[in-house]
Amino acid sequence: MKAVIVGAGEVGFRIARRLGLESKHVVVIDRNPEALKRVAELLDAKTILWSGSNPRSLDEAGVRDAETFLAVTDGDETNLVARLFADVMSPGSSSR
């Protein structure tokens, strides 16, 4: 199973850690290089330094193949836009 998480803050980090323990393929997107560095150093997850509300970053993360998509940044607008693009790019996913 592949999971794409937008947001590498505390919530995103904890979710990525939990999914990693369950042997899930995890991709984390964030604009904060320090938060992504923490994810990369402590977790088995791919990281992408970019805005999660950008369709290119979602495409690079493989959102079309993801069974799970979570937008957990501290910005509601970013979360809503990321979710909108994820739904448009992968409309058949029922677990989002």
Q: What is the pLDDT of residues 56-83, one digit of tens each?
A: 999 999 999 999 999 999 999 999 999 9
94 in a structural domain? no
**Mean of the per-residue pLDDT values of the chain:** 94
What is the rounded distance in angstroms from the CA atom of residue 22 to the CA atom of residue 87?
25
96 in a structural domain? no
Percent of the chain that is helix, strand, coil (3-state, to 5)? 50, 20, 30
Provide the pLDDT for residue 92. Answer: 64
95 in a structural domain? no
Provide the pLDDT for residue 94. Answer: 40
Answer for the pair 10, 35: CB distance below 8 angstroms, yes or no.
no
Domain of residue 33 covers 2-89
pLDDT surpassing 90 at residue 96: no
Tokens coding 40: 């990369």
Task: Give pTM, 2 decimals.
Answer: 0.94
Q: Which of 52, 11, 15 is nearest to 3 (CA)?
A: 15
